[in-house]
Amino acid sequence: MIEKFKSNAQAIEAADQFLYGNHARIPIVMDRGEGCYVYDLDNNKYLDFVGGIAVNGLGHCHPAIVKALEERTKTILHCSNYYYNEPAIQVAKMIVENSCFDKVMYANSGAEANEGQIKLARKYAVDHGHPERHTIISMVKSFHGRTLATATATGQTAVHDPRYFSPLPEGFKYAEFNNLESVKEQLTDDVCAILTEPIQGEGGVRPATKEFLQGLRDLCDERGILLMFDEVQVGSGRTGKLFAYQNYGVEPDICSMAKALGSGVPIGAVCARGDAAKTLTPGTHGSTFAGGPLACALAEATLDTLLHGGVLEHATEVGEYFRKQLGTLKEKYPESVKEIRGMGMINGVELNLDNGSPIVEKCFEKKVLINCTAGNVLRFIPPLVASKEECDLVVSAIDESMAELELK
Ligand SMILES: Cc1ncc(COP(=O)(O)O)c(C=O)c1O
């Protein structure tokens, strides 16, 4: 019989003994969630504007997800990719019918989906008579994952620190985000693809400009190379559209999804169009778990709710309201708040401070969960279903926290 932990303290004592310490964690143990709220083992209730780092798009225990999960446990959880399964086909159909893409290939995480994109881009170049093209240009301050290739594609030295992880995979170089000239400077004959997030998430909630994305599209078209978007964080409805690229009217050749697609079960996807949708053939890429019926059944329920349950429209409206309310902080603390940025329900407050963590900690004391990325950007990636009232609670918590910290 497993004896359940009865408190945060008791569970964390065991965690310190048994869990590997590769994550810096806040010392609470999440026990359950409902909508935009989570509860820890001591029964404290928190307003959750971290949302599992943009995974809990529909909030916690959304009825459509609970139903899909319950039904799935009574049918089939896994069957291998030697066979088809219905949810995998339904999810691909929904994605294709609501985007520019022609085909969908599955993965188990964001990093794995991006690995799939990298492999696809390199084989595409070879198939099109350019075996010399193997290099991917990605952007400074990007984030694409923690596997060796995606960590190297990530334009932050800390993520692929060569002192620890050498030899790093070859074939990656970096350009400045939102700077087309910088991309052109890197565009040598060995480049097979350009990879970018339409909005940098971990890099500090930085939306690309339309001119930048259109410029990348034109460069790729001129050269016959692929434009790859990483929509792991900003896809699946986060910006108020199914894909973030749909806010810009600039279509990539391939695009990764993950995070909120499965509402909490691990799933990733590579979406591809045109010739890029024909590149990976049997034997060139695959995975035991990818596209399995369990993950896809939850993705099916997620997409159905996003597309037909009014969630995208809600995210657009509430996101706009939230940014407006965050703007009051800039008026009240003009020396400390530099800029409010975002789209739909990914929003950020860039601070004129070296470190935003004291504000995050103060909010935590007030039972409001937010996070700080890129050192000084408060980031909000709550459930898309969060209400205006819940946004107000978060703005008040930050306001009180900044006042207590005597920020100006
Ligand atoms: C834009 C982006 N790409 C890739 C990843 C990696 O996804 P995963 O942690 O599921 O491997 C993340 C995770 O934060 C992300 O934000």
| 359 in contact with ligand 1, CB cutoff 6 A | no
**Cβ of 48 below 6 Å from ligand 1:** no
The answer to whether the CB of 202 is under 6 A from ligand 1 is yes
Q: Residue 232 Cα, ligand 1 centroid: separation in angstroms? A: 6
Mutate which of 112, 259, 346, 381 for ligand 1 pocket (most atoms within 8 A of beta carbon): 259
Maximum distance among all Cα pairs of the chain, rounded to whole angstroms: 64
For residues 296 and 90, the answer to whether their CB atoms sit within 8 Å is yes
Predicted confidence at residue 2, as pLDDT, reads 93
* pLDDT block averages, 10 residues each, the chain of length 408: 95 97 95 98 98 98 98 97 98 98 98 98 98 98 98 97 97 98 98 98 98 98 98 98 98 98 98 97 97 98 98 98 98 98 98 97 98 97 98 98 97
C-alpha closest to that of 292 among 274, 258, 267, 323: 267
Closest ligand 1 atom, CA of 142? 1
Q: What's the gap in Å between 333 CA and the centre of ligand 1?
A: 32
Instruction: Specify the pLDDT at position 211.
Output: 98
Q: State whether the beta carbon of 373 lies less than 6 angstroms from ligand 1.
A: no
Q: Is 230 in the pocket of ligand 1 (CB under 6 A)?
A: yes
* Nearest atom in ligand 1 to 197's CA: 1
CA angle centred on 335, ends 330 and 339, rounded to 5°: 45
Q: How far apart are the first and last CA of the chain?
A: 55
Binding site membership of 266 for ligand 1 (Cβ less than 6 Å): no
- State which of 112, 199, 205, 233 you would mutate to test the pocket of ligand 1, scoring each by most atoms of that ligand within 8 A of its C-beta: 233
Contacts of 169 (CB under 8 A, 6+ apart): 148, 149, 152
Q: Tell me the domains of the chain and their CATH numbers.
A: 8-62+310-404 (3.90.1150.10), 76-308 (3.40.640.10)
Give the predicted TM-score (pTM) of the model. 0.98
Which of 53, 55, 143 for a ligand 1 pocket mutation test, highest count of atoms within 8 Å of Cβ? 143
